[in-house]
Amino acid sequence: MLKSFKIGGVHPAENKLSAQKAIEVLALPKSVFIPVGQHIGAPAEVVVQKGDKVKVGQLIAKSSGFVSANIHSSVSGTVKKIESGPDTSGYPKTGIYIDVEDDLWDEQIDRSTELKTSVTLDAAAILAKIQDAGIVGLGGATFPTHVKLVPPKGMKAEVLLINGVECEPYLTSDHRMMLEHGAELIVGVQLLMKVLNVAKAAIGIENNKPDAIKKMNSLLTGNNGISVVPLKVKYPQGGEKQLIKAVTGREVPSGALPISVGAVVTNIATTFAVYEAVQKNKPLFERVVTVTGKTVKNPSNFRVRIGTTISELIDAAGGLPENCGKIINGGPMMGKAFANTGIPVTKGTSGIVMMPDGEAKRKEVMPCIRCSRCVSVCPMGLEPYLLMTVSEQEIWDRAERECVMDCIECGSCSFTCPANRPLLDYIRLGKGKVGAIIRNRKN
C-alpha cells in the first residue's frame, strides 16, 4: 500500500493539462517590474539607482536581515525607476522597473548546460552560495531557504524530504522539472544533504506521475542515501506536515516547526535552484511557471524571468480565453485570484490557472447543515465549521483554543462543503487576527 498522511484529505479532479508539454523558454519581455518583497520576512533594500545599467544576475536589492533574501536582476538593461507597483493582491509594493536591452549575463554565471556533479565546496560555502543567490521556497510559501537550512540551537536535522508531490490540480511545473532536469535535481539533493549533514533524503512523488517516479528511480545510483517514495494521490499530500507524516510517520506537534521532528522539506523547484546557484553560480532570477486552464488554447510550462508581467505568459499560452472568470496565482485549491493582468511573476508564482466563468463563480451560500464533512476532510484534525463561526463572531480567544493557527489553509473544507460556506475565508481572517494577538503578547 502506498504511503500517505492519515486523517482527512480530498481528491479534486487533477486536470494536469500541461503534463506532457516540455518546458519552453519564454521570449524576453520589453520591461520587467521586480518587487523587493517577494519572500516571507523583511523586504530587500534596493542597491541600484535610476539610470544604472544592470546585467542578468546582478544584485539589485540586498537582503535586509537574516530572514530576508537577495533579489537579482532577471534581465539586462537600464533601471527605469524605483517605485511602487502592484503585487498579487493589487496592493502597491516597492519594486524596480527595468527596461530590457540585450541579454548580457553576469560573467560569473556558467551558462553551459553541462551537468556538474562534483561537490567540491564545504557545507558553509554551499549555504553562503544559497543565501547569496536569494533562494526562497519556490512552492509558493517563499520562506528563505538558507533560514530553513540552519536548524535552531539544540535541534538536529535527521532527514531531508524533497517535495515532488505537486498535489494541486492543474500545476505541472515540478513534474516537468523532474522529467527534464532529474540529474541536476539529484545533485541539488546531495548539496542540501551536505549542508544539513544528513545521511538520508527522500523524494516524495504522488503516484499520478509514474513517469517522474520511474525517471527519478533510474537516476538513483548506488548507496547515496537518496530514495524515491511514491505517495497516494490525495490532496494535500504536498503540505509540509502531511509529507513528513506520509514519508517518516512522524507528526509535527501543534505550533512547532518540521525541524522539531528532525525533518527539513524543500520543494523540487527550490532544489533545482540550489543546484544552479551552487554549481553554476546562477542566482534565482527565473523560474518555471505553469500557465493552464480548461479553455486555454495552449496550456504550457514556461521558464520565465522574474518580473515578467503575467499578461505576457497568458498571451504566450494562446491568450486570455473569452469566458475566463478568474486568473489564479498558484493552484486552484490554495491560490488567490490575481487582481489584474498587470502583475509580475515573482519567486512564489508556481502557476497561472485561468478558470472558466462558470467554475470560477462561487455558489450561493446556504446555512450549515451540520454534516461535518469539513471535519472529516481536514488534514490537520481541526473543526473548520467551528473555526468559521468563532471567527465570524470575533471570539478570538476561543479561536486560539481551537487551534486556528494550525490551519494550513489547504482549502479542503471549503472544497467539500455542500452548503458552499466560505469556511477558509473566515478561518484565514481568524488566523490573521489571532496571529497578531500572539505576536503582540510576545512583545
Closer to other proteins at the Cβ: 211 or 357? 357
Site string for other proteins, 18-57 (x = CB under 8 A): ----------------------------------------
Closer to other proteins at the Cβ: 295 or 341? 341
DSSP string, 403-435: TGGG-----HHHHH-TT---HHHHHHHHHHHHH
Provide, rounded to whole angstroms, the least separation between the CB of residue 384 and other proteins.
Answer: 13
Provide, rounded to whole angstroms, the least separation between the CB of residue 340 and other proteins.
Answer: 6
Provide, rounded to whole angstroms, the least separation between the CB of residue 148 and other proteins.
Answer: 26
Span 74-103, contacts to other proteins by CB under 8 A: 86, 89-92
DSSP string, 68-90: ---EE-SS-EEEEEEEEEE-TTS
DSSP string, 30-73: SEEEEES--SSSSPPEE---TT-EE-BT-EEEE--SSS---EE-
Does position 200 bind other proteins by CB under 8 A?
A: no
In the chain, the amino acid numbered 141 is: A
Sheet containing strand 226-231, edge to edge, reads: 226-231, 200-206, 159-164, 263-267
- Asked if 97 and 32 count as a contact pair (C-beta separation under 8 A), the reply is yes
Closer to other proteins at the Cβ: 155 or 436? 436
Provide, rounded to whole angstroms, the least separation between the CB of residue 355 and other proteins.
Answer: 12
Does position 418 bind other proteins by CB under 8 A?
A: no
Does position 336 bind other proteins by CB under 8 A?
A: yes
Q: Which residue has the cell 534596493?
A: 46
Residue 268: its H or E element? helix 268-280
Provide, rounded to whole angstroms, the least separation between the CB of residue 358 and other proteins.
Answer: 13
Total H helices, total E strands in the chain: 14, 17
Does position 342 bind other proteins by CB under 8 A?
A: no
- Binding-residue total with other proteins (CB under 8 A): 18
Provide, rounded to whole angstroms, the least separation between the CB of residue 365 and other proteins.
Answer: 8
Q: Which residues contact 406 (CB under 8 A, 6 or more apart)?
A: 254, 255, 380, 382
Span 421-440, contacts to other proteins by CB under 8 A: 422, 425-426, 428-429, 432
Closer to other proteins at the Cβ: 125 or 365? 365
42, 123, 339, 395: residue in contact with other proteins (rule CB under 8 A): 339
Q: Which residues contact 287 (CB under 8 A, 6 or more apart)?
A: 138, 173, 269, 273, 303, 304, 306, 345, 347, 349, 350
Provide, rounded to whole angstroms, the least separation between the CB of residue 367 and other proteins.
Answer: 14
Binding site for other proteins (CB under 8 A): 86, 89-92, 336-337, 339-340, 361-362, 365, 422, 425-426, 428-429, 432
